[in-house]
Amino acid sequence: MGTTRGRTAKSTIRRQLTRIVLIPSISFLLLWAIMTAAGSAHAVGLTLSVLNGRDGVAGFGAIAVELREERRLTQVYLGDPTARATAELERQRTRTDDAFAARYEQASRLLTRGGDATRDATRDFFDDWKSLGGLRSEVDDRSLDRASALHRYSEFVAGIHLISDAIVVELADHEGLSQGALALDLMRARDEYSQADALLAGVIAEGEMSYEETAHFTYLTASYRDALADAGPGMAPEARDRHEAMLGTPAWTAAERLSRSVVTREPVGGSDDPEAGGWNGDVPVEAREWDEAMAASAPLFNDLVLAQIRASNETAWAAALHAIALNVFGCLLTLATGITAIVIALRSSRRLTERLRRLRTETLEVSDTRLPAIVSRAQRGRRVDVAAELPSLRHGDDEIGQVADAFNTAQRTAVGAAVKQAEIREGANRVFLGIAYRNQTLVQRQLRMLDEIEGKEEDPRALRALFRLDHLVTRGRRYADNLIILGGAGAARRWREPMPLVDVLRGAISETEDYERVRLRSAPKVRVQGFAVADVVHLIAELVENAAQFSPADSHVDVNSGRVPNGLAVDVEDRGLGMTGDAYAEANRTLAHPPEFDVMALTEEPRLGLFVVARLAARHGVRVRLCPSPYGGTRAVAVLPDALLESAAPPAAEPGPVRETVPRQDDGGLELLRRLGRTVGRAHEQ
């Protein structure tokens, strides 16, 4: 029957461990698949956006080139409708239509592959394109003046710029967005340069320049010059080189000289008022020299814009490739890490099952064979060597090892009661410490028994009652520790490894009666050295309990912590009535210079807690000070020196700085209540 029970327990434990491993593993794989799909879709979408944007800009750019030339020839035709001007305009219109037809398929892809803004801008441009025939008819009928024609043609080019704007915004990589925006500025500057060329060409053809045309020409030339000056420092290297080379060419210098001569010409007549007929409409530039200068300088400007567009495309493409590479690397790394974690978890569960089976076998051997024989011999008065005949079960320092240690304690206590009596300790201090240590042992045994009962109890009401009893016993253990500390000895609890600060603070809060009122606000990612964990827990618990006792029952006690020079500060703040200035001064003197322990001086419990805090602080170099709280209560500040801290980064699964409160008993989380306070109180004791 015992073997059958063993098999059932073993299979049940194995089944539970398998569920513990498989549920997070399956969840991780699902999450990994979702993240991989989302990341891949984003990377692919970014790549397609780069390709579509590059093709769209190229297609509409070719159409814009022909539109700008048609705009110029239209201005010449409206200024002087000679047969030559008419023929050149007709040929250019044909080239514009051919360019639109050739690039239509390439440009129209943005209607299906671009973003919402790009599709809307593209659709608007195609709708506006239908009105180009009507504009040409008005030009042919000469029912449209040059200024209106210039504006109407410029609106077509502006529509292309809106499409380019939308494409750049969709490729919103930080660096790529900057380069793309600069390319847009240069494209607009190039169009202003082209508008100025068209305007002046029409003026030269007509032979007279009005005041409004002069003002418009002045604005256009100043605008593209400012744009070039502003964009110069931020251009891509290739574009910057072309910009510097363009400014030094004779063609650019000649074009600039001619445009400035138009702007700076003197008015004629006796009045400066253009409405009075005194405006100088003569143009100091001949058609031949202006056409030659623009024919040589316009390609330079166009090459500059193309260089910046290429740099923007290359930056966006590099960003897309980087996103793909980063996504692939992240997916592979996450998958490898997850698989490794699953394998380790499965192996750990298998080892845990084997350890439990071995513990069961050894326990049955001792309880069924050796222990009855030893007790029988002791009852008969024979000499028994407990250490030799009753070897200890050793299974490590974790929970399984603690179960084995508990059995060792039980069997040694049973055998020891039959073979010998405890020796009486000598000396008042030794008796004092002995009583304290024994009380602490009983409390520990009570806590273990409570742990067992709580672990099996499922009724929330009973569990809440057990936890109230648990907290009372825990406080009893701390009071026993107070006697040990005041007697000059160290705490009975020891830690070998450093412990996260958040667990230390939680453990301290859990050892107080009114833990439900305590809110843990923050805890940096640091660890407390193992040799100081017990004392730091005790110190903080005394401060927290003092704050809870001297503040209203419906108020909160806040615990905060953070880095300070040469250490870490833990603040315990209540909202009570506070203390007088003299009382603060006296308490801080006691904390800074702990007096000798004098039982007659301890007239009340808070004084005892103050002595205990002072002793613990002096033992580890902790600075503790009381001061008024902004809420009217008292703030206790304990500064832990760097010698008690470990700055190494915690494991990846450990939470960062926390902002939380200790869970309330009525939250309904039975399993969470069972673990409350165990993180520091017992799970890591050595």
Pairing of strands 557-564, 518-520: parallel
- Whole-number pLDDT of residue 678: 45
Tokens coding 210: 């009005």
Residue 667 is assigned to a structural domain of this protein:
yes
pTM reported for the whole predicted model: 0.44
Please state, in angstroms and rounded to a whole number, the distance separating the CA atoms of residues 61 and 550. Answer: 78
Model confidence over 562-605: pLDDT tens digits?
999 989 999 999 988 888 888 888 888 888 887 665 543 444 44
With respect to residue 526, please indicate whether it lies within any of the assigned structural domains: yes
Domain around 502 = 495-681
* pLDDT surpassing 50 at residue 658: no
pLDDT exceeds cutoff 90 at 56: no
- Counted domains in the chain: 1
478, 537 in Cβ contact below 8 A? no
Which of 317 and 505 is assigned the larger pLDDT?
505
Confidence (pLDDT) at 386:
64
Residue 634 lies in a domain: yes
For residue 227, pLDDT over 60 is answered with yes
Mean pLDDT of the chain: 75
> In the structure, what pLDDT confidence band is assigned to residue 267 with cuts at 50, 70 and 90?
low
Between 533 and 685, name the one with better pLDDT: 533
- Per-residue DSSP letters for 168-205? HHHS--HHHHHHHHHHHHHHHHHHHHHHHHHHHHHHHH
Name, of 228-237, 337-346, 373-382, the range with top average pLDDT: 228-237
Q: Where are the alpha helices (DSSP H) in 550-677?
A: 581-592, 605-620, 670-675
Pairing state of beta strands 645-646 and 527-528? Answer: antiparallel
pLDDT the model gives residue 170: 64
Q: Which amino acid is at 684?
A: H
- Is the residue at 286 inside a domain? no
Q: What is the pLDDT of residue 486?
A: 60
Residue type present at position 50: V
Query: With bands split at pLDDT 50, 70 and 90, how would you rate the model's confidence at 178?
Result: low
616 lies in some domain? yes
d(CA 494, CA 508): 15
Is the pLDDT at 673 greater than 70? The verdict is no
What CATH number does the domain containing 579 carry?
Answer: 3.30.565.10
Residues 619-638 pLDDT 10s: 889 999 999 988 888 999 99
Better-predicted residue by pLDDT, 285 or 165? 285
Residue 451 has pLDDT above 50, yes or no: yes
How does residue 169 score in pLDDT terms, banded at 50, 70 and 90? low
Q: Give residue 454's pLDDT.
A: 74
Residue 300 — very low, low, confident or very high, per pLDDT cuts 50/70/90? confident
Among 65-79, 340-354, 419-433, name the most confident range: 65-79
Q: Between the CA atoms of 524, 525, 528 and 534, what dihedral angle is there, to the nearest 10 degrees?
A: 70
Give the angle subtended at the CA of 346 by the CAs of 344 and 351, to the nearest 5°: 90
Residue 381 pLDDT greater than 90, yes or no? no
Does residue 232 fall inside a structural domain?
Answer: no
In a domain, residue 237? The reply is no
594 vs 686, higher pLDDT = 594
Residue 271 above 60 pLDDT? Answer: no
Work out the average pLDDT over 398-415: 69
Supply the pLDDT for residue 674. Answer: 41
Q: What is the pLDDT of residue 625?
A: 92
**pLDDT of 7 above 50:** no
- Does 531 reside within a domain? yes
Query: Of 364-378, 447-461, 520-534, which range is least confident?
Result: 364-378
Element counts in the chain: helices (H) and strands (E): 22, 8
91 pLDDT band, cuts 50/70/90, is very high
User: Considering only 93-102, 199-208, 417-426, which range has the smallest mean pLDDT?
Assistant: 417-426
Query: pLDDT, tens digit, for every residue of 426-447?
Result: 444 555 555 555 666 676 677 7
